[in-house]
Structure 1
């Protein structure tokens, strides 16, 4: 099958573990012909957005990627919000795909793709939705101008050509139906996923990580990862951790702190020998960290790493949100806000024997619902 992934709603970057990267990789592994159409922006060092060369190259996974220029680049930053790519429809004519997965609801370019599928009704068009009321339409300008009067009319004009709207969280499902008026019958959950590795690979990663860092099997290793700005509540997590005296409790930080967060958190990290700061990790090293950990901590909001952690059987310690409940049910370790973290860590220590049951449940859920191989098959079957 000839599959096209269109990634113009954000800076597509080769080598990351985002949903679009993983689905492209899985479609290649399944033997399909895969092309990524992306904007001319990508992430550079420290995740700063930089210009990428327009043209066609090859991704690490073997798929072809073609970066198209913005149609109205003269508008500068605004062009990255309009998201119209020069020659998009014409390029689709040359590719003649069987299936298109458009990543994001919010782009002028969706009009070009819908026009192509209107003239080629054999082609299935899937559109995924990452937007929700927490990350989109939060200000008056964003809600009333950008979303309600620009993105939404574009989506509504294209909706008849869309086969399914795939929502990555419970919150994005509500957003698509309530705000964008996506038809319920063609809107469904399509969660961010994870790569399920062989049990022996996971066991090797776990043993290697814990041996290298001096962790015993009786230790409870908790990890917090990602780009750690003030919204990630690392300071509150550290304060809660340091207040718990259990010698078996360990904390691994695997991410990049902003300067402001580092200034506040570094003294706390240095004050407690149970805390290990690894800094930013490559995707493969992050997998090893997650395999070696027992619990994954997300004090505020959501991250794709939660699903990755579940793939390695981590117990999830996270804010009580609908999407987290969809993932882990009522495991009694979700919390309203960071002020409840001391009580959560106390439960973890006191119920250490019960962690194995939660870990098995998370591994089973991930294998059934979050495996990127199975998610990729849903697009082609």
Structure 2
């Protein structure tokens, strides 16, 4: 089958990252489909973290997916027109690719009318997914009622009649599609994010575990807690987690942090580094899988990221901060949700899982038996284009 993915609603598309728009096309290709991705020129310089443009317009990525990057059409001197997401050449790419199925990653771009024009003229399946929710979108009155309530709702309403299914990647994102864009409840379904199967397998090998622990100076008997992400003011509770672990000075517990730290928090962060709290620095995708692979417990006391689902896919017991619309993470006892992320509360949570080996083992059992299959991107990618199976 000829499958064309369209991701024009993103701020940037970076080859090789672990986002859904990277992983689902990859596994569609591995399943034998002819796969293309139409996306923006905007990308990220991984050395500096700065946004930049990828000047390549048509190439094959490392996963075998053909990438088409389209230039934006922006009125000179009118900055907001960039946010309207109008591009040069979208209809031509779709028409030349001649897809059997169009998979739209986000409907928030005015050029969606080119997709509609093509679909009206050709026999082609359409599937949509959405990543918008009340935590990352519609946070001001203007955004909620004008940008999403009028502009993007109009785009959603126009494409909806042609869509087989509208996937939300979190339960709260399913609600957003219904409540904000007026999508029919019967078409909106949950498609979870996940982890790349081969990276999970490699990360869980005994060789990888031993090498990664040795690299960090951690012995095989240590109880390892891992947390990761960008440490900013919104995730300052990670400092509380560091303080909590440092209170277990007599226990063989190690906390490993992987990610970046904003300058404002450098001092507080560095003050908590110790024999028990280790800074692994920024890790690329493969190394982050390997790092989480050595964990006995993974704790995310801040806001949601794709790492939450990856942690479960690795078969790890997890502790997550409680947010509305995250019920899909609990598969029957693999994780704990906490509301209080103070140092004192985190100390009690760690005690509960470090000293109660039976509970920890039970959580791990559920994560291994259910999480590794539920959050497998190979499984997710197949479900994404066969919603009724």
TM-score range, shorter chain: over 0.9
Q: Which residue of 2 aligns with 1:184?
A: 185
Q: Which residue of 2 aligns with 1:218?
A: 221
Q: Which residue of 2 aligns with 1:64?
A: 66
1:369 to 358, 374, 383: 374
* Off by >6 Å, runs of 4+ in structure 1: none
Contact in 2 for aligned 1:110/1:155 (Cα 8 Å): no
Compute the displacement of 1:144 (Å): 1.9
Compute the displacement of 1:75 (Å): 5.7
Q: Distance in 1 between matches of 2:197 and 2:112?
A: 32
Compute the displacement of 1:245 (Å): 3.6
Q: Which residue of 1 aligns with 2:268?
A: 264
Deviates more, 1:254-263 or 1:321-330: 321-330
1:296-335 equivalence runs, <5 A: 296-328=298-330, 329=332, 333-335=336-338
Q: Which residue of 1 aligns with 2:239?
A: 235
Determine whether 1:129 maps to 2:130.
Answer: yes
User: For each residue in 1:148-195, what CA deviation from the matched residue of structure 2 results, as whole angstroms up to 9, or x when unmatched?
Assistant: 121111111221011211110011011111111111111000011112
More helix per residue: 1 or 2?
1
2:279 to 252, 260, 277: 277
- TM-score with structure 1 length normalisation? 0.93
Compute the displacement of 1:324 (Å): 3.8
Contact in 2 for aligned 1:35/1:65 (Cα 8 Å): yes
Compute the displacement of 1:201 (Å): 5.8
Q: Distance in 1 between matches of 2:184 and 2:98?
A: 27
Q: Distance in 1 between matches of 2:275 and 2:140?
A: 43
Alpha carbons of 1:34 and 1:353: their partners in 2 closer, same or farther (altered >3 Å)? same
Compute the displacement of 1:322 (Å): 4.1
Secondary structure in 1 matching 2:128? strand
User: For each residue in 1:299-354, what CA deviation from the matched residue of structure 2 results, as whole angstroms up to 9, or x when unmatched?
Assistant: 12201011111122221111112444321255673101312322212212222343
Compute the displacement of 1:66 (Å): 0.9
Alpha carbons of 1:321 and 1:281: their partners in 2 closer, same or farther (altered >3 Å)? same
1:1-381 equivalence runs, <5 A: 1-10=1-10, 11-44=12-45, 45-53=47-55, 55-74=57-76, 77-120=79-122, 122-197=123-198, 202-204=204-206, 205-233=208-236, 234-269=238-273, 272-328=274-330, 329=332, 333-339=336-342, 340-381=345-386
Compute the displacement of 1:100 (Å): 1.3
Secondary structure in 2 matching 1:27? helix
Q: Distance in 2 between matches of 1:243 and 1:187?
A: 46
Secondary structure in 2 matching 1:115? helix
Q: Distance in 2 between matches of 1:330 and 1:178?
A: 30
Alpha carbons of 1:284 and 1:163: their partners in 2 closer, same or farther (altered >3 Å)? same
Q: Distance in 1 between matches of 2:225 and 2:112?
A: 42
Secondary structure in 1 matching 2:204? helix
Alpha carbons of 1:344 and 1:104: their partners in 2 closer, same or farther (altered >3 Å)? same
Aligned length: 378
Secondary structure in 1 matching 2:336? coil
- TM-score with structure 2 length normalisation? 0.91
Contact in 1 for aligned 2:313/2:373 (Cα 8 Å): no
User: For each residue in 1:218-263, what CA deviation from the matched residue of structure 2 results, as whole angstroms up to 9, or x when unmatched?
Assistant: 3221111122212122222212222334522110011111111222
Q: Distance in 2 between matches of 1:149 and 1:199?
A: 45
Contact in 2 for aligned 1:70/1:79 (Cα 8 Å): no
Q: 5+ residue gaps in structure 1?
A: none
Q: Distance in 1 between matches of 2:38 and 2:101?
A: 13
CA-atom RMSD, angstroms?
2.0
Q: Distance in 1 between matches of 2:86 and 2:369?
A: 41
Contact in 2 for aligned 1:71/1:84 (Cα 8 Å): yes
Q: Distance in 2 between matches of 1:181 and 1:135?
A: 19
Contact in 1 for aligned 2:14/2:44 (Cα 8 Å): yes
